[in-house]
């Protein structure tokens, strides 16, 4: 229960057209101020002021990340509840809302295009580039340990890139599918699997946001160094979760929070690492729970080292017979 004065503050914050538009946009996942400014077509100071009012009233949360800040709907409380109630009552036919959603899609498509151009350019040198970020040996040993002696029916590797995870785990699945949006990456992965005589894995062009489930749902999904390319990793995790069998597991490998802004400007990263608390919240929202977390600090020989994390997520649904 909240005091009347607090509730009035929440209502005042929500009761303005631009702020309502912002809430409706954030219903689609976390967004950066930069993108929200572009979508609304208003000045950045103006958008930031609206966002601050919404955050102060508890309707949204703010997450500062290097030079950028991300906003999302508050998880709960009077503010979070009111935000969801309002969004649920906003007509999908509202012309301004429609325009905002079209601009949001255009902004997202442009980002996907930039990332795709980057991966097309680096595809051939990716195996070298990935090992420059961090020493992979310890991480790969931990991935193998997390899978243990299991041999799963179907492994799905989302954002497979050059197919390294399919190669590493080849002895632990009966069938595997690697999915990636980059034709260039897929071509290299296909050649790599052929030269390693790994015939029980296939690679396909596909998008995590729009997965084709016709090959069945996976016992194990791996998402290795992919989520930081999205503004809203939680949304992508929920999309990926649809491809998981009841009782299945996900292994997520990504960077811990860092301050290396050049990875954003030069290497298509969107998020400067993922925090444990964020991962726990995203997992919860996707009906998963964090069963284990391992961290790998940077190799001391790498000047600007990054910590890599391995999260093991398990199905949190009580009834796993769905
Ligand atoms: C950093 S690479 C990681 C590749 C591989 N998992 C590894 O660790 O070597 C990220 C990969 O994600 C792919 N990717 C980006 N967005 C994607 C999406 N929406 N759906 C599927 N793959 C995507 C990129 O094309 C790229 O190959």
Domain 4-90 has CATH 3.30.70.20: no
Question: pLDDT category, 68, cuts 50, 70, 90?
Answer: confident
pTM of this prediction? 0.83
pLDDT at 60: 95
Locate the domains of the chain by residue range: 4-90, 124-315
Please indicate whether the domains covering 4-90 and 124-315 agree at the CATH topology level: no
Atom index in ligand 1 nearest the CA of residue 164 equals 9
DSSP-derived 3-state class of residue 115: helix
Atom 11 of ligand 1, residue of closest alpha carbon: 159
Distance of CA 213 to the CA centre of its chain: 19
E-strand stretches of the chain? 31-32, 60-65, 68-73, 152-158, 173-180, 201-205, 218-224, 244-255, 288-296, 308-315
Question: pLDDT category, 252, cuts 50, 70, 90?
Answer: very high
DSSP-derived 3-state class of residue 34: helix
pLDDT at 322: 46
CA of 69 to the centre of ligand 1 (A): 23
Q: Which of 161, 167, 251, 255 to mutate to test the pocket of ligand 1 (most atoms within 8 A of CB)?
A: 161
Strands 201-205 and 68-73: unpaired
Question: pLDDT category, 39, cuts 50, 70, 90?
Answer: very high
CA of 225 to the centre of ligand 1 (A): 7
Q: Is the pLDDT of residue 321 over 70?
A: no
User: What are 105-151's pLDDT values in tens digits?
Assistant: 999 888 888 888 888 888 877 776 666 556 688 999 999 999 999 99
**Would you give the DSSP letter of residue 43?**
-
Of 12-26, 49-63, 124-138, 182-196, give the lowest mean pLDDT range. Answer: 124-138
User: What are 271-291's pLDDT values in tens digits?
Assistant: 999 999 999 999 999 999 999
Ramachandran angles phi, psi of 307, nearest 5°? -85, 135
CATH superfamily of 124-315: Vaccinia Virus protein VP39 (3.40.50.150)
User: What are 82-112's pLDDT values in tens digits?
Assistant: 999 999 998 888 899 999 999 999 998 888 8
Q: Which two tokens stand for residue 312?
A: 């093991």
């Amino acid at each position: 229960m909240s005091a009347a004065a607090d509730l009035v503050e929440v209502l005042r914050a929500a009761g303005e057209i631009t702020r309502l538009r912002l809430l409706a946009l954030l219903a689609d996942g976390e967004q950066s101020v930069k993108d929200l400014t572009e979508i609304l077509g208003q000045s950045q100071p103006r958008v930031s002021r609206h966002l601050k009012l919404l955050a102060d009233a508890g309707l949204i949360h703010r997450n500062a990340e290097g030079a950028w800040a991300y906003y999302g709907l508050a998880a709960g409380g009077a503010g979070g509840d009111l935000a969801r109630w309002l969004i649920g009552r906003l007509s999908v036919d509202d012309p301004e809302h429609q325009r905002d959603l079209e601009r949001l899609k255009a902004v997202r498509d442009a980002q996907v295009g930039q990332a795709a151009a980057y991966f097309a350019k680096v595809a051939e040198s990716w195996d070298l580039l990935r090992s420059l970020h961090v020493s992979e040996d310890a991480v790969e040993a931990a991935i193998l340990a997390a899978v243990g002696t299991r041999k799963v029916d179907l492994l799905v590797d989302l954002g497979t890139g050059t197919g390294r995870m399919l190669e590493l785990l080849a002895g632990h699945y009966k069938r595997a599918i690697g999915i990636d949006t980059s034709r260039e990456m897929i071509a290299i992965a296909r050649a790599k699997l052929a030269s390693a005589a790994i015939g029980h894995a296939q690679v396909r062009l596909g998008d995590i946001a729009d997965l084709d489930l016709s090959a069945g749902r996976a016992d194990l999904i791996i998402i290795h160094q992919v989520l930081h390319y999205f503004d809203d990793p939680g949304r992508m995790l929920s999309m990926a979760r649809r491809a998981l069998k009841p009782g299945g597991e996900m292994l997520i490998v990504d960077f811990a929070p860092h301050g290396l802004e050049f990875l954003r400007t030069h290497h298509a990263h969107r998020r400067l690492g993922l925090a444990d608390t964020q991962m726990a919240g995203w997992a919860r929202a996707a009906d998963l729970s964090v069963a284990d977390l391992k961290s790998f600090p940077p190799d001391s020989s790498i000047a600007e080292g990054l910590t890599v994390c391995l999260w093991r997520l398990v199905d949190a649904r009580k009834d796993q017979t769905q």
